[in-house]
Structure 1
Amino acid sequence: MSADGTNSRTVREETLEVFRQLGMTTIFSNPSHTEMKLFEEWPDDFRFIMGLQEATVVGMADGHAQATGEPSLVIINGGPGVGNAMGSIYTAASAHTPMVIIGGLQARKLQLGAPFLDAPEATSLPRPFIKWAGEAARPQDVPALIEKAYHIAKQAPAGPVFVGVPEDDWIRPAQSTPHKVRSVRSAVVPDPEVLATVADALNSAERPAIVAGPGVEIGGARRDLIKLAERLNARVYGSPVWPRGSFPENHPLFGGVLAPMPELINQRLGEHDVVVILGSPAFTLFTTADLFSNAPAPLDGTDSPALPEGTAFYHVTDDPEAAAWSAAGHAFVAPPARFARDLVPLLPQRQRVPLPALREPVPVPQPSEPLTQAYLFHLLSQELPADAQLFEELPIARADFHEQIPLGADNGYFATASGALGFPFAAAVGYAIARPDQRTVVVVGEGSAQYTLHALWTAAKHNLPITFVIPDNAGYLSLKYYLDDTSQKAWQIGWDLSGVDMAQLARGFGCRAERIESPEHLRASLKDALSADGPVLLDVVVDDPGLFRL
């Protein structure tokens, strides 16, 4: 502040103060020269987290935001940097992760031409996966625009936003009046009439069920959902391609995660007369039964996927677009976590009787050489800390994972919300930076691990409590088993990953690692890795499991 009471700060200094007021003092970055003026005379009250590639940077910020519930801050180049990060931006958008991405642009006077690191139409580059994007018309408007971006990122449905900032804006004078951050709070609550409608439907149901989506966990209502299910004595299913666990998998009312196929969804939910879907789209699909056939087919004249007619569906989501395309007969736009919490007192306690089993008991896998993925997951479940946070990406092994590792009420579960690979390796690092008091466990195939492998360097740099477990079957087997036997052999070069040594790669990034091939070695190494000081990677060689299950 100058002697006459006006602001003497630069845009850079004013923006740093806005970051402080918004609580965004942890920065995830892999900067280019267009961002470097922001980092001159870097203050010691900020924490800078370096990533080795932009997709990894955004993935780490995604995990950090999911740990804190607050927008994370990313600073990368606004042209090729954003291009490198697009897969992770896509996943963050699908997960509705609040995130502010600042993209560095070339200096304003150079933008008339086509300079090196040019980003023409920078605000269009991250679309359609960005929630909002802007670029200040004047340098002095940058701090206010960043605050606007922060509030938009945080509003439901949350998501990543983008602000482009030319390199020279940071050293220009700020506006004469210091910027004051405003308070913007959500005041949205469920309509009492809607709550009563859903409560009446559930109270009159003979065979009620609940589909739990990530919105329940994001809103902190997992234990409220447990109360709700127990009052109703209702089966609870995880939403298809569950990106966050919202109900304990070891609870007797848990019916498993719904497969992302309409035929299998209808088979499960058609057994119920009323189904309430909380905090999930209705529904995220991956494929349909007829698409598994490789035989020539006529033009598709089938109807679009639909839910069973004999079941009444009530869908609660905070996403108006998801409500607009919902397959449910009744959709309501409301905060799902608050809806679950407010619904509990409207439901009387039903008699608690055991529900019929949905499947045969899962057999205990036995040790063998080569090891099986089921045996690996079985041993992991025995050694897993009760409050461990699991990050999973197993395109062909998810069924075995959930069968052998029924996560409890204090375990967190995170997975890609988009289908894009690479989320868990990076996101687990961001999560552990926010929550170093918890053991974070990553279970990812060696194929998926390649997409954000660089995160190992950041994990080692900060000595984070992360255990990376790699079921290594030496291939993209999710691709292999889309083909018949003849095509698998003819196209082996497209799925065969033999020769990738994850343990050696991890050591190259400074992370302790072991390659494991025997049951005896596996048990001892798991026990040690789950209590180690700092990150450890276990590259566990497992047999080809054959055709995968959804």
Structure 2
Amino acid sequence: MTTPTAGDGTVRAATMQLLRELGMTTVFSNPSLTEMKLFENWPDDIRFVMGLQEATVVAMADGYAQATGVSPLVIVNGGAGLGNAMGSVYNASGAHTPMVIIGGQQGRRMMLGEPFLKARDATLLPQPYVKWTGEPARPQDVPELLLKAFHIANQAPKGPVFVSIPEDDWVRPAAEVPVVPRRVRNAVSPDQEALTELAAALNAAERPALVAGPAVETQGARQDLVALAERLNATVYGSPAWPRASFPETHPRFGRHLPPIPAMISEILSGHDVVAVLGGPAFTLITSMDLFATHPADLDSKVVWDALPEGTTILHVTDDPEQASWSIASTTYVCPPGAAVRGLVPLIEPRGEAAEPVAREEIPVPEATEPLTQAYLFHTLAQELPPDAAVFEELPIDRTYFHEQIHLGPGNDYFASTTGALGFPFAGAVGYAMARPDRRTVAVVGEGSAQYTLHALWTAAKHNLPVTFVIPDNAGYVSLKISIMEQEKWRSGWDLTGVDTAAIAQGFGCPAERVETASQLQEALKRSFTVDGPVLLDVMIAGPEGIHL
């Protein structure tokens, strides 16, 4: 390591200075031979965070970016390394996470042949799951190209970008005139006429509802959405595949999370005359009821959304023009959702006294059984969870049980995958804790999902990060089991018997224990939230009998 200097006149030195001026001073990487010249004489003032596999590296960077709002730099090999990382890049794209990914390329003088670790057609590999790709025509163009990438990543809708850089470019002479960072200010604001139109529709509604999407939270408007809901006496729903805590689940105006199935969304929203979808797609879907049928179905007989509730007007606010192009809303407004929510609050006429709290289905208190159920695990976790904990969740089949038992309040941050690509929450929790070591981060991830980025345990242990990993362990990919549970011959496709996640965690240097009883569970959770550094609890549970939405 070296201290920062005026530089040695190379592209590498000019790039390091640019990173400082942009505030990109945390770098996540799994280095390869195609970046070695960049890592020579690495400065002390740029933090280097090592990950053991590229998917883990990108997911950690994603969590860091969501914690800080600052674009991290990711450095991986641009061929095999980026290929390993693509599941996490796919998720970062869906989450609109701004990050700059440098893909190391073989040296220019080597490119006439097929050298080791060459990235063939390097800019094509990450498409279409990055906003933009580039590669320098000349070595001295590298800093300017990275500056362009940074600004594209941070323009709405935000997202990851990729730059392929030949290894020998780093030690070439930099341009004689240094790159001066330009300021690009987001000055886009909602059109006042559009806000007035939207407010008029909500004011005239008899039974209004709001659907809270992730952009409300990422754009800092969570409390404004609370004020909007209270003035309207509106029911607030979490968007399908709820990826961010854009509205406190403990608030009396909160209804539930919308299931990602069109027929169920239509049924829930049919009780409202006006529904405003704010800051998320309209809507993210996973499947349709037809695909749950055990008998042959005519899947071409109708379109997915032929059953929209009659008499319900759906309005949509998004900053993503592509979302607007396929939205099912009758009117979509393309503008920053956070600013739109803030602008709507003073335009809404208060409806007098607060209405009765939204009626919710009464959920019975689960009993302690052997083996434990996921409902009991989440019930116990809710009792012990720190009120300011940041929660990362990946429970493809148990998610509804989680939200029924754990109602996250205004002090909790919450993160989940937006795309179904497994692995983000486990490693994202580590990246978040890297940025916020002042609070406890809790990752609740099934043992099957955890395997995708389990390497993050090593980074958590190395940096002694305050992360509690809670693993509801039912020894299988139960979503697959349930989907075709009558076919015993498919057992080999979902059975994870013999995977000892606690032992694996210990092998990475992370303290861990196996939990099998109710008394063990409560004590283990209490300890896990007060220890210095990371800990993993591998909690043995029974698998669910069916899908619960």
After TM superposition, the score normalised by the length of structure 2 is 0.97
Contact preservation (8 Å) 2:461, 2:533: yes
Cα distance in 2, alignment partners of residues 103 and 61 from structure 1: 15
Q: Report the alpha carbon displacement of residue 309 of structure 1 after superposing the two structures with TM.
A: 3.5
- Where does 1:160-199 land on structure 2 (aligned, <5 Å)? 160-199=160-199
- Where does 1:139-218 land on structure 2 (aligned, <5 Å)? 139-218=139-218
Cα distance in 1, alignment partners of residues 62 and 515 from structure 2: 31
Contact preservation (8 Å) 1:233, 1:351: no
Cα distance in 2, alignment partners of residues 548 and 293 from structure 1: 13
Q: Report the alpha carbon displacement of residue 402 of structure 1 after superposing the two structures with TM.
A: 0.2
- Where does 1:110-509 land on structure 2 (aligned, <5 Å)? 110-298=110-298, 300-306=300-306, 307-355=308-356, 358-485=359-486, 487=487, 489-509=488-508
- 1:20 corresponds to which residue? 20
> Given the superposition, is the C-alpha separation of residues 547 and 7 from structure 1 closer, same or farther in structure 2, using an over 3 Å criterion?
closer
Contact preservation (8 Å) 1:7, 1:176: no
Contact preservation (8 Å) 1:432, 1:465: yes
Cα distance in 2, alignment partners of residues 57 and 356 from structure 1: 43
- 2:42 corresponds to which residue? 42
SS in 2 for 1:236: strand
- 2:519 corresponds to which residue? 520
SS in 2 for 1:451: coil
SS in 2 for 1:452: coil
Contact preservation (8 Å) 2:28, 2:49: yes
SS in 2 for 1:316: strand
Cα distance in 1, alignment partners of residues 310 and 142 from structure 2: 53
Q: Unpaired segments of 5 or more residues in structure 1?
A: 1-5
Spell out, residue by residue over 1:125-151, the C-alpha distance to the aligned partner (whole angstroms, 9 max, x if none). Answer: 000101100001000000000000000
Contact preservation (8 Å) 1:8, 1:176: no
Q: Report the alpha carbon displacement of residue 353 of structure 1 after superposing the two structures with TM.
A: 4.4
Cα distance in 2, alignment partners of residues 206 and 295 from structure 1: 41
Contact preservation (8 Å) 1:73, 1:101: yes
> Given the superposition, is the C-alpha separation of residues 8 and 413 from structure 1 closer, same or farther in structure 2, using an over 3 Å criterion?
closer
Cα distance in 1, alignment partners of residues 541 and 521 from structure 2: 11
Cα distance in 2, alignment partners of residues 522 and 313 from structure 1: 44
Q: Which amino acid letter does the alignment assign opposite residue 259 of structure 1?
A: P
Q: Which amino acid letter does the alignment assign opposite residue 391 of structure 1?
A: F
Moved more, 64-73 or 52-61: 64-73
Q: Report the alpha carbon displacement of residue 351 of structure 1 after superposing the two structures with TM.
A: 2.8
Q: Report the alpha carbon displacement of residue 298 of structure 1 after superposing the two structures with TM.
A: 3.8
SS in 1 for 2:316: strand
Q: Report the alpha carbon displacement of residue 296 of structure 1 after superposing the two structures with TM.
A: 2.7
Cα distance in 2, alignment partners of residues 169 and 286 from structure 1: 44
Cα distance in 1, alignment partners of residues 118 and 227 from structure 2: 54
SS in 2 for 1:314: strand
Contact preservation (8 Å) 1:440, 1:466: yes
Cα distance in 1, alignment partners of residues 326 and 310 from structure 2: 17
Q: Report the alpha carbon displacement of residue 467 of structure 1 after superposing the two structures with TM.
A: 0.3
Q: Report the alpha carbon displacement of residue 319 of structure 1 after superposing the two structures with TM.
A: 0.2
The answer to whether 1:541 aligns with 2:540 is yes
Contact preservation (8 Å) 2:24, 2:72: yes
Contact preservation (8 Å) 1:270, 1:308: yes
Cα distance in 1, alignment partners of residues 167 and 484 from structure 2: 50
SS in 1 for 2:460: helix
Cα distance in 2, alignment partners of residues 358 and 151 from structure 1: 45
- 2:3 corresponds to which residue? none
| Identical amino acids, percent of aligned pairs | 64
Contact preservation (8 Å) 2:290, 2:297: no
Q: Report the alpha carbon displacement of residue 359 of structure 1 after superposing the two structures with TM.
A: 4.0
Q: Which amino acid letter does the alignment assign opposite residue 505 of structure 1?
A: I
Contact preservation (8 Å) 1:8, 1:174: no
SS in 1 for 2:483: coil
- Where does 1:69-84 land on structure 2 (aligned, <5 Å)? 69-84=69-84
Q: Which amino acid letter does the alignment assign opposite residue 395 of structure 2?
A: L
Cα distance in 2, alignment partners of residues 146 and 237 from structure 1: 39
Moved more, 463-472 or 539-548: 539-548
Q: Which amino acid letter does the alignment assign opposite residue 453 of structure 1?
A: L
Spell out, residue by residue over 1:348-382, the C-alpha distance to the aligned partner (whole angstroms, 9 max, x if none). Answer: 21134444754431111111211111111111111
Moved more, 360-369 or 532-541: 360-369
Contact preservation (8 Å) 2:228, 2:345: yes
Q: Report the alpha carbon displacement of residue 549 of structure 1 after superposing the two structures with TM.
A: 1.1
Q: Which amino acid letter does the alignment assign opposite residue 165 of structure 1?
A: I
Q: Report the alpha carbon displacement of residue 74 of structure 1 after superposing the two structures with TM.
A: 0.1
Spell out, residue by residue over 1:47-77, the C-alpha distance to the aligned partner (whole angstroms, 9 max, x if none). Answer: 0000000000000000000001121110010
Cα distance in 2, alignment partners of residues 94 and 357 from structure 1: 31
Cα distance in 2, alignment partners of residues 529 and 240 from structure 1: 31
- 2:61 corresponds to which residue? 61
Q: Which amino acid letter does the alignment assign opposite residue 211 of structure 1?
A: V
Cα distance in 2, alignment partners of residues 340 and 117 from structure 1: 48
Q: Report the alpha carbon displacement of residue 532 of structure 1 after superposing the two structures with TM.
A: 1.1
Cα distance in 2, alignment partners of residues 243 and 404 from structure 1: 18
> Given the superposition, is the C-alpha separation of residues 8 and 45 from structure 1 closer, same or farther in structure 2, using an over 3 Å criterion?
closer
SS in 2 for 1:491: helix
After TM superposition, the score normalised by the length of structure 1 is 0.97
Q: Report the alpha carbon displacement of residue 401 of structure 1 after superposing the two structures with TM.
A: 0.3
Q: Which amino acid letter does the alignment assign opposite residue 42 of structure 2?
A: W
Q: Which amino acid letter does the alignment assign opposite residue 386 of structure 1?
A: P
- 1:3 corresponds to which residue? none
Cα distance in 2, alignment partners of residues 211 and 196 from structure 1: 19
Cα distance in 2, alignment partners of residues 329 and 280 from structure 1: 15
Q: Report the alpha carbon displacement of residue 475 of structure 1 after superposing the two structures with TM.
A: 0.7
Spell out, residue by residue over 1:14-35, the C-alpha distance to the aligned partner (whole angstroms, 9 max, x if none). Answer: 0000100100010000010110
Contact preservation (8 Å) 2:25, 2:72: no
Contact preservation (8 Å) 2:7, 2:14: no
Moved more, 55-64 or 66-75: 66-75
- 2:9 corresponds to which residue? 9
Spell out, residue by residue over 1:454-502, the C-alpha distance to the aligned partner (whole angstroms, 9 max, x if none). Answer: 00000000000000000101111100111142x1x22111111111111
Cα distance in 2, alignment partners of residues 108 and 38 from structure 1: 15
Cα distance in 1, alignment partners of residues 353 and 444 from structure 2: 35
Task: Report how many residues are paired.
Answer: 543
Q: Which amino acid letter does the alignment assign opposite residue 421 of structure 1?
A: L
- 1:30 corresponds to which residue? 30
Moved more, 355-364 or 7-16: 355-364
Contact preservation (8 Å) 2:255, 2:360: no
Contact preservation (8 Å) 2:235, 2:358: no
Q: Which amino acid letter does the alignment assign opposite residue 114 of structure 2?
A: A
Spell out, residue by residue over 1:333-360, the C-alpha distance to the aligned partner (whole angstroms, 9 max, x if none). Answer: 0000110011101112113444475443
Contact preservation (8 Å) 1:11, 1:170: yes
Q: Report the alpha carbon displacement of residue 436 of structure 1 after superposing the two structures with TM.
A: 0.6
SS in 2 for 1:379: helix
Contact preservation (8 Å) 2:30, 2:75: yes
> Given the superposition, is the C-alpha separation of residues 299 and 412 from structure 1 closer, same or farther in structure 2, using an over 3 Å criterion?
closer
Q: Which amino acid letter does the alignment assign opposite residue 147 of structure 1?
A: L
